[in-house]
Amino acid sequence: MEYIAHDASTFAPPAEVGEMELYHPKTFIGKYIWSQDAKVIAIQYAITAIGIGLVALVMSWLMRLQLGFPNSFYFIDPSNYLQFVTLHGMIMVIYLLTALFLGGFGNYLIPLMVGARDMVFPYVNMVSYWVYLFAVLLLIASFFVPGGPTGAGWTLYPPQAILQGTPGATWGIILMLVSLAFFIIGFTMGGLNYVVTVLQARTRGMTLMRMPLTIWGIFMATVLALLAFPALFVSAIMMLFDLLLGTSFFMPAIVSMGQQGEHTGGNPLLFQHLFWFFGHPEVYIVALPAFGIVSDLLSVHARKNIFGYRMMVWAIVAIGGLSFVVWAHHMYVSGMNPYFGFFFATTTLIIAIPTALKVYNWVLTLWHGNIHLTVPMLFAIGFIFAFIHGGLTGLFLGNVTVSVPLSDTMFVVAHFHMVMAVAPIMVVFGAIYHWYPKITGRMLDDGMGKFHFWATFLGTYAIYLPMHYLGFLGVPRRYFDVGGTDFIPASAQSLNVGITIAALIVGAVQVVFLYNLVWSYFKGKPSGGNPWNATTLEWQTPDTPPQHGNFGPTLPVVYRWAYDYSVPGAAQDFIPQNVPAQDVARRSNKT
């Protein structure tokens, strides 16, 4: 009450906001193809990422078909299988999730949520997308070269990645590495934009601590990506050198098929260190935007301020910092010094503290909230389940003694799918259902959305819960066909059949989602400007969908943090960020 009514005379007048010069395209091509508008670039990113993601989805089907019904399909041979494993992982982690969260949601939401007209360097932003698209096309091209795409596993460990005998060891791996290098160059252009826009282009009154957590998550993830991708970049270049120029960065002296190879003295472990110095922060590059977005979804749809906002910001920053000192927990079986393992196990367990803190805060946000079980809320709650689940198995695997026997088993596959596939994708879906009305002006169909949620949520559990048991039994990952063993009971195969059927169903259900996206674009219920009664700036634009420049003639001025929901004394259960105290309608005392 006092909060709403604090002294109005201290508010800054609205007209002093610095303006940026916008590039105004005249033609269709300028507006929608070579566009410099962050919102269009966001949609270009999203469509490309989802498109290539569908390819990876089909690959997971093909893998599961082989695992569920071994050797029943003539189009899956051991080489194909390894190629599916490799590209499924690579596409999902980098070309889908990284690109979608940062290039897609980052581009759409950063300028709108911080009250900017566009990214600070719109031209660079445009180039970023086209370089990304080029990287995706290179990746697709690798399907059509002799030998097909690489089958080295998504971690691309040398020496096997570039030795004859591994599928795609001639052309496929070259295209993969070049594609990664281009992806990183493109991302760096975009990433500079995201960071500078958040730090330098916020509107009047939008201090860092008034930013929604979505922006904090995307911002910190971008910082991580900018600092982590160089490791992948140099390792890709070094491997290309080993392959094309005959250097020996990673390639040791090898006798292969009775022949002494031309390499001498390279260090394969060096690649693992470089790869995971990128690879572990990558987990948080995907997770932090999800953390941020889910915080906002929970708050909006529970009509309650996020519990412990400041703690949430600090947790995001702490997780980001810690993510750079845990990488070798992916390498416990690489023969490293046990003290090394002890150090990395400790840091890994420490990172559980800020992460757990976030989980508690999400749950406490729901506590006594006015929970609306909308589709975005369902997905947000689904995320909490999947994330707790995957996080807990992460504690198992973070400990050396537990990790070693579970290494390279299906338990690991189940763990990381729970934590960085199911959990973030739940957020992606929740976020699309949440922001689709702003992007198109129409609501997504609720019935289809609920069906999509329940089928995906229950379906992914049907896939990954049993997979943990397979891991305990010792079923190895990445095997085309395990064959007969003494330690795996025959019943494991029936679990595999069940998992495959669930995977096929979950994949097919996504068609409903895609249909919903298209159908609602034309036939969906008109949403209005702020269908969820949310406080953040993107919902306060004069037009829906927002026009080029986002906010009409004057930029909004921010007078409060992003979480004024159910404020005591206010007439409505939300107060938008750009409403000054004197304009807040107050509840009459009679009620």
Q: Does 267 bind other proteins (CB under 8 A)?
A: yes
Residue 236 vs 421, nearer CB to other proteins: 236
Q: Does 6 bind other proteins (CB under 8 A)?
A: yes
Q: Does 241 bind other proteins (CB under 8 A)?
A: yes
Residues 317-346 contacting other proteins, CB under 8 A: 317
Residue 246 CB partners (closer than 8 Å, separation 6+): 262, 263
Q: Does 260 bind other proteins (CB under 8 A)?
A: no
CB of 242 to other proteins, least distance (A): 8
CA distance 364 to 371: 12
Residue 18 vs 146, nearer CB to other proteins: 18
Is the peptide bond between 546 and the residue preceding it cis, with omega within 30 degrees of 0?
Answer: no
Among 30, 70, 153, 230, binds other proteins (CB under 8 A): 230
Q: Which two tokens stand for residue 160?
A: 């096997």
Q: Does 10 bind other proteins (CB under 8 A)?
A: yes
CB 344 within 8 A of CB 399: no
- Mask of contacts with other proteins, 79-118, x by CB under 8 A? ------------------------------------xx--
Residue 161 vs 306, nearer CB to other proteins: 306
- Long-range contacts, 206-209 (Cβ 8 Å, 24+): 206/114, 206/115, 206/537, 206/558, 206/577, 209/309, 209/310, 209/313, 209/561
CB of 160 to other proteins, least distance (A): 19
CB of 220 to other proteins, least distance (A): 12
CA dihedral 292, 296, 297, 300 (to 10 degrees): 180
Q: Does 238 bind other proteins (CB under 8 A)?
A: yes
Among 40, 231, 298, 428, binds other proteins (CB under 8 A): 231
Query: How many residues contact other proteins, by CB under 8 A?
Result: 70
Residues 518-557 contacting other proteins, CB under 8 A: 555, 557
Among 55, 141, 227, 364, binds other proteins (CB under 8 A): 227
Q: Does 239 bind other proteins (CB under 8 A)?
A: no
Burial 8-31 (b: 16+ CB within 10 A, else e): eeeeeebeebeeeeeeebeeeeee
CA distance 549 to 17: 14
CA dist 276 to 232, 272, 330, 419, Å? Answer: 9, 6, 7, 17
Residue 174 vs 228, nearer CB to other proteins: 228
∠ Cα 197 300 93 (to 5°): 55
Residue 225 vs 495, nearer CB to other proteins: 225
Q: Does 196 bind other proteins (CB under 8 A)?
A: yes
CB of 372 to other proteins, least distance (A): 22
**Helix 268-301 vs helix 338-366: angle between axes, to the nearest 10 degrees?**
10
Q: Which two tokens stand for residue 135?
A: 């990287």
Burial 442-462 (b: 16+ CB within 10 A, else e): bbbbeebbebbbebbbebbbb
Residue 88 vs 202, nearer CB to other proteins: 202
CA distance 463 to 62: 15
Q: Which two tokens stand for residue 311?
A: 């703690």
CA 549 to chain centre: 27
Residue 202 vs 329, nearer CB to other proteins: 202
Among 264, 370, 485, 494, binds other proteins (CB under 8 A): 264
CB 40 within 8 A of CB 31: yes
CB 246 within 8 A of CB 253: no
Q: Does 559 bind other proteins (CB under 8 A)?
A: yes
Helix (H, G, I), strand (E, B) or coil at 545: coil
Residue 251 vs 414, nearer CB to other proteins: 251
Residues 341-400 contacting other proteins, CB under 8 A: none
For the chain, how big is the Rg over CA atoms in Å?
Answer: 25
Q: Does 245 bind other proteins (CB under 8 A)?
A: yes
Among 270, 395, 448, 473, binds other proteins (CB under 8 A): 270
Q: Does 132 bind other proteins (CB under 8 A)?
A: no
For the chain, report the end-to-end CA distance as a whole number of angstroms: 16
Position 236: which residue type?
Answer: A
Region from 132-140, 203-211, 476-484, 535-543 binding other proteins, contact rule CB under 8 A: 203-211
Among 105, 332, 561, 574, binds other proteins (CB under 8 A): 561
Region from 56-64, 402-410, 488-496, 558-566 binding other proteins, contact rule CB under 8 A: 558-566
Region from 61-69, 77-85, 308-316, 497-505 binding other proteins, contact rule CB under 8 A: 308-316
CB of 234 to other proteins, least distance (A): 6
Q: Does 195 bind other proteins (CB under 8 A)?
A: yes
Q: Does 25 bind other proteins (CB under 8 A)?
A: no
Among 168, 266, 369, 376, binds other proteins (CB under 8 A): 266
> 574 has which bridge partners?
565
Q: Which two tokens stand for residue 20?
A: 């940026």
H helical segments located in 367-445: 375-398, 400-406, 410-417, 423-440
Among 140, 234, 356, 388, binds other proteins (CB under 8 A): 234
Among 307, 309, 327, 574, binds other proteins (CB under 8 A): 309
Region from 288-296, 303-311, 474-482, 538-546 binding other proteins, contact rule CB under 8 A: 303-311
Among 47, 199, 497, 571, binds other proteins (CB under 8 A): 199
Q: Does 560 bind other proteins (CB under 8 A)?
A: yes
- DSSP state letters, 204-241: TT--GGGS-HHHHHHHHHHHHHHHHHHHHHHHHHHHHH
Q: What is the binding site for other proteins (CB under 8 A)? A: 2-3, 6-7, 10-12, 16-20, 115-116, 120-121, 188, 192-193, 195-196, 199-210, 226-227, 230-231, 233-234, 237-238, 241, 245-249, 262-267, 270, 273-274, 277, 305, 309-310, 313-314, 317, 555, 557-561, 563
